[in-house]
Amino acid sequence: MREIWHGGDRYTADITIPSRGDFSFVIESYDNPLATWIHDAEIKIGADVDAELMCTIGVNLFEEVISQDPAAKSLLKGAIAALKDAKLAPLNRFGIASTPEIRSYSAANPLRRLATQSEKYPVRADHPRALVGSWYEFFPRSEGAMENKDGSITSGTFKTASLRIPAVAAMGFDILYLPPIHPIGVTHRKGRNNTLTPAPSDPGVPWAIGGAEGGHMAINPALGTMKDFEDFVAVAKKNKIEVALDFALQASPDHPWVREHPEFFTHRADGTIAYAENPPKKYQDIYPINFDNDYKAILEESLKTLRFWINKGVSIFRVDNPHTKPVHFWGDVMRVIREESPDVIFLAEAFTKAPMMHALGKAGFHQSYTYFTWRTTKQELIAYGEEVAHQTSAFFRPNFWVNTPDINPFHLQSGNPAIFAIRAALASTLTPSWGMYAGYELYEHRRFKEGGEEYLDSEKYEIKVRDWAGAEKKQVTLAPFITLLNKIRRENVALQRLRNLRFHHAENDQILAYSKREGDNLILVVVNLDPNFAQETTVHWNMDSLGLREDNFEVTDLIDSAKYQWSPFTFVRLDPTRLSGKVVHIAKVKL
């Protein structure tokens, strides 16, 4: 361990876990008489207090060191001779016996006496995917969907959706998240924009799980067959993409559980089953689970469902609203699945109070959605970045999503392409895991109502027909920039780490500067947070934090390959308003 600052009595150490699994570490403390002697002798001999005694003690300690490490004799024999030489002044003797080389040796090879160990501290090393990933979300029913001449929509299927996978892979995403793919209930089905009066053609909300065709272990027949899903997973794996499946513990009124396990649900005084609510929102098409009635049966049914999809090739689960279920339930689920399938990853979709989000991490969730979506100012981003990188990283791995089907953030509702680029640059470089919901690259931004953060014509309630090829042809897409961001992430290990985030002072409150370093890989990021105007500033790089000793250093901007000579005080200007507008420097330092 090394002292953080001299005399502060605070120490730190880096531990590299050799492989995935459960480990423990201990902290050992001991008496180091050689270091104590150097400290005491420097004071006492300098004050002419017990000077001869201190020299004698030094001789004894050096001889003890040589008896334990004979290789140290060549370093210490001169010191021993000097300490024994009564012709020399004690202060001169001490100077010969406490050279920088001897002090360094003492620090690196302490005499350990009275060694004691702390309790064992557990530490778990998960699959790398638990920390690092680029997530992309799409609804299979929208991929390959077609609008017919009469205005009706033909749903996409797993077969048509699989044709979209190569494009997702080409953008550099390595995790493809699918909302629930199960049969959708008919009772109280929601129509467009959450209406309670659906048209016969409305497909329903995927999270209203369960119908005549089955429940959580069945496929929505509109998407195809189980074989089609297995083929879809195979195409994804061929494109080096892992499929993440939604795990939503809830049921539509038509779910088989309602008939077979009525005890899974809460019954109101009038005998009806309570549906989900988040006032003023009502989800009449969804019944939440009551874990108090038959906990064991619910746990077994959940494990049965997870095992089923794991056997189908699913290695990642995005868990819907885990904070509305008992935390100890997730602890039980994670423990069993970890023992059976240790490489399976769970993402918590828990937009709730921080203590609950942290509790879910401690219960076993590998990562979580975060508040990044609502952190927009420089001060907010710095505070939140410091929190997730340095305060909670031992138990909470963040995943920065720029949008979701439920969240159309206020800052995106202008449709300004620059803000879409800015948020993607931030999300993809601040943390090792980030996510994007389909349509973001097309700058989809229309809000359902003033003051709200829901999408107009939300894909939760209808099938979206998107013209990917047309957008690419017209160059009305952020896909090339997204592709470049993911390429930069993939090629720079510093961006695949969480705890190495360091912020640096920029004089302009509209410009955020930060760095990440892992070994010889040093990345500097400067972002203009203003999508409407050019901003310029001087960035004051903390050279000690960067690990740089030269006053000037060469960087290559990974966005446009431009090379610059930067210094501890670097002037930058970022202008998003030009045709080739630039919102971010992602600069790799030549070391």
Phi and psi based region of residue 364 (left: phi greater than 0; alpha: psi -120 to 50; beta: remaining): left
What DSSP letter does each residue of 452-482 carry, written as one string?
A: --SBTT-TTTS-----HHHHHHHT--SHHHH
224-233 contact pairs (CB < 8 A, 24+): 224/157, 224/158, 224/159, 226/312, 228/157, 228/158, 228/159, 229/158, 229/181, 229/312, 230/312, 230/313, 231/158, 231/159, 231/162, 232/140, 232/158, 232/159, 232/161, 232/162, 232/165, 233/312, 233/313, 233/314
The b/e string for 232-263 (b: 16+ C-beta within 10 A; e otherwise) is bbebbeebebbbbbbbbbbbbbbbbbbeebee
Cis previous bond, 398, omega within 30: no
DSSP 8-state code for residue 120: P
Residue with tokens 């494990």: 303
Selecting among 126, 254, 349, 462, the annotated active-site residue is 349
Question: Is 320 considered catalytic here?
Answer: yes
The b/e string for 6-44 (b: 16+ C-beta within 10 A; e otherwise) is eeeeeeeeeeeeeeeeeeeeeeeeeebbbeebbeebeeb
Contact 444, 457 (CB under 8 A): no
Question: Is 349 considered catalytic here?
Answer: yes
Selecting among 320, 444, 453, 530, the annotated active-site residue is 320
Residue with tokens 């999503």: 401
Helix H, strand E, coil C: the string for 220-263 is CHHHCCHHHHHHHHHHHHHCCCEEEEEECCEECCCCHHHHHCHH
**Burial grade of 388 (CB within 10 A; 0-12, 13-18, 19 or more):** buried
How many distinct helices (H) and strands (E) make up the chain?
17, 28
Of the candidates 437, 443, 381, 433, which has an alpha carbon nearest to the alpha carbon of residue 407? 437
**Burial grade of 379 (CB within 10 A; 0-12, 13-18, 19 or more):** exposed
Catalytic residues: 320, 349
